[in-house]
Structure 1
Amino acid sequence: MARIALKIDVDTWRGTREGVPALVRLLAAERCGASFLFSLGPDHTGRAILRVLRPGFLGKVSRTSVLEHYGLRTLLHGVLLPGPDIGRREAATLRSVRDAGFEVGVHCWDHVRWQDRLLSRDDAWAEREMRRALQRHAEVFGAPARLHGAAGWQFNPAAARAETALGIEFASDTRGSHAFVPVADDGTALGPPQYPTTLPTLDELIGVDGTTADNVHQHLLERTERTAQDQVYTLHAELEGMKLRDVFERLIAGWRAQGHELVALGALHGARSTETLPRHRLALGSVPGRSGLLALQGAAWQG
């Protein structure tokens, strides 16, 4: 009935070492397409403790059992333990994903740094951070990155302009309802086409209104039943690639039963002409089940 693009965010060293290979095996066996977006610099996950002051953060932590899914060692990286350089230490793992036939792209250089600082920094900071990640991608894969998906959906016009300057062809940095080109107030394109995450994530649903790991797949399948519109589902190597892998297996089976095709983001991009995509402003707002402000598909530009 529709295509569902699987966007896999890889946030941590542990997720790269353990979750990524498990997902590659599962997706290859199921013959699914997918896009893996990698954190390519240091894993400073422990520094995210500063988010405790954000509204809703403690509730999310208690609902999704962060310690269980990420592990104590990961939560100490960048605080009591040095942050391992993911791209350098796991270059062979990253290349194995590409060699297995999956699409690869850039998530960030330092996940916590991007997620916590982007919105308070200037255009030059955004471009420097993105450039570091893209340079590491080129070192690992021997080719420039075509795809970018911002850490924590933290994105703004400065980041969109940086994508254009650095040669990104298409991106999935935002939350929204359909593909669009991000534009300034005068309608000028800010960055490459966006294929926003359209479906909620597991950690946004589990623990809300009686939703558990045992039934969360049913809530997602209800949203994709009888739809002919392309969707983007963001999963995490640290969740669906590890303790919630059985949930993801049930989702794959359910989507297949509904008649959907599971593809990489590039399949959506390759099938569309950029000139025909609607133009939308970027906005900041909240998403149920997730703390803080996220980049959203804003109002359509009427020009």
Structure 2
Amino acid sequence: MSTAGTPSAPLLALKIDVDTWRGTKEGVPALQQALQRHQAGATFLFSLGPDHTGRAIRRVFRPGFLSKVSRTSVVEHYGIRTLLYGTLLPGPDIGRREAALMRQVRDAGFEVGIHTWDHIRWQDHVAGQDAAWTEREMRLAAQRFTEIFGTPPRTHGAAGWQMNESAYAMEKSLGFVYASDGRGTHPFQPVDAGGAPLGVPQLPTTLPTLDELIGADGLTPDNVHEHLLALTAHPPAQGHVYTLHAELEGMKLLPTFERLLSGWRAQGYQLVSTAKLFDSLDIKDLPQHHVAMGTIAGRSGSLALQGVMAASA
């Protein structure tokens, strides 16, 4: 498929996190059509197991959660029914119900990868879990991906940007080529506490997300694109990664996203999958960084961040 622009044009990779059943069946088709209208590539990362969104109610005790909810209407974007899955309603198995739709996205020329098995379970628990728990969750997702697509997964983008050291190691064991699991400023090779390479190269999300911005500093769905376009006015040497959500940009915020697509095209970017951005890099020269847990403005709790550069051997 066409990704628009010239070979020398800067790259902006679009990473689409698909968290819920509703986001899969409603948001994904809408995003696919919008991307095709704008001749843009993207990577769709699917939640492949049960939708237990309702269990996120536990986050009410997390610092910053209530302020985030007050800025972005969770009910409006996710719907009442989705917010009951895993509590008052059984959680639908997304991968079993929507396998054909997922294959159709792949067949349309978009890269597909793993977001998670159980989004809420991973996001709320992985940071404190051991290697056995982590391996089970990742293998469930990898096995389901292979069942759906007939090939093993090549990439992973962690739910809620939540990881632990075992998860990085498992990405290499499962044969992933690269991943986009955290937040940062440029591609890097993660290392462990001792400075040894850990897992696969990382393409961190480099730009803030709409739900982090809307409702703060006078930003609304009608003008937030102007703020993001100001951040991308001067392209970095190794490109940008923008994370969007099927439940947001694929639904109520689709007009905002289309303004972003038009604006990025006007700035001269090629809008591509994370795979295309990865393929543009010289992997041998990637800087090595530790990964740390920290906070991001507009988002509750801590998440995986690109940390300090590792000391040279």
Please report the TM-score for the alignment, with normalisation by the length of structure 1: 0.99
Distance 1:285 1:139 in 2: 35
Contact 2:48–2:117, Cα closer than 8 Å, also in 1:
yes
2:243 paired residue among 234, 240, 247: 234
Q: State the distance in 2 between where 1:290 and 1:15 align.
A: 20
Matched, 1:128 2:132: no
- 1:19 and 2:24 equivalent? no
Give 1:209's aligned amino acid: D
How many angstroms does 1:67 deviate by? 0.2
Q: Which residue of 1 aligns with 2:303?
A: 294
- The reply to whether residue 258 of structure 1 matches residue 267 of structure 2 is yes
Q: Secondary structure at the match of 1:137?
A: helix
Amino acid of the residue matched to residue 126 of structure 2? L
Taking the aligned partners of 1:161 and 1:275, their CA distance within structure 2 comes to: 19
Question: Within 5 A, what are the aligned runs for 1:51-200?
Answer: 51-200=59-208
5+ residue gaps in structure 2? Answer: 1-8
Q: Distance in 2 between matches of 1:214 and 1:106?
A: 31
1:268 aligns with 2:265: no
Of the three residues 32, 36, 50, the one matched with 1:42 is 50
Q: Distance in 2 between matches of 1:256 and 1:182?
A: 31
Deviation at 1:228, TM superposition (A): 3.7
- The CA deviation string for residues 82-129 of structure 1, in whole angstroms up to 9 with x for no partner, is 000000000001001001000000000000000011011101111110
Tell whether the 8 Å contact from 1:43 to 1:110 is kept in structure 2 after alignment.
yes
Contact 1:156–1:282 at 8 Å: present in 2 too? no
Taking the aligned partners of 1:228 and 1:198, their CA distance within structure 2 comes to 10
Contact 2:48–2:116, Cα closer than 8 Å, also in 1 = yes
**How far, CA to CA, are the matches of 2:195 and 2:282 in structure 1?**
18
How high is the TM-score relative to the length of structure 2?
A: 0.96
Q: Distance in 2 between matches of 1:228 and 1:296?
A: 18
For 1:244, give the aligned amino acid: L
Q: Which residue identity does 1:45 align to in structure 2?
A: T
Report deviation, 1:227.
2.1
Partners in 2 of 1:120 and 1:156 — Cα distance? 8
Q: Given that residues 64 and 207 in structure 1 are in contact (C-alpha distance below 8 angstroms), is that contact kept between their aligned partners in structure 2?
A: yes
Q: Is the 8 A contact 2:25 2:101 kept in 1?
A: yes
| Same amino acid, percent of matched pairs | 64
One of 205, 209, 233 as aligned partner of 1:201: 209
| SS of residue matched to 2:234 | coil
Give the letter aligned to residue 59 of structure 1.
Answer: S
For 2:166 and 2:214, locate their aligned partners in 1 and report how far apart those are by CA, in whole Å: 33
Alpha carbon RMSD of aligned pairs, Å? 0.8
Q: Deviations over 1:36-94 (max 9, x none)?
A: 00000000000000000000001111111000000000000001000000000000010
Equivalent residue, structure 1, for 2:5: none
Q: Which amino acid aligns with 1:46?
A: G
The aligned amino acid for 1:254 is G
Paired position in structure 2 for 1:246? 255
- Equivalent residue number for residue 225 of structure 2: 217
Does 2:11 match 1:31? no
Q: Distance in 1 between matches of 2:15 and 2:236?
A: 19
Specify the SS of the correspondent of 1:117.
helix
Q: CA deviation at 1:200?
A: 0.1
Corresponding residue SS for 1:243: coil
Runs (4+) of structure 1 moved beyond 4 Å?
none
| Residue aligning to 2:288 | 279
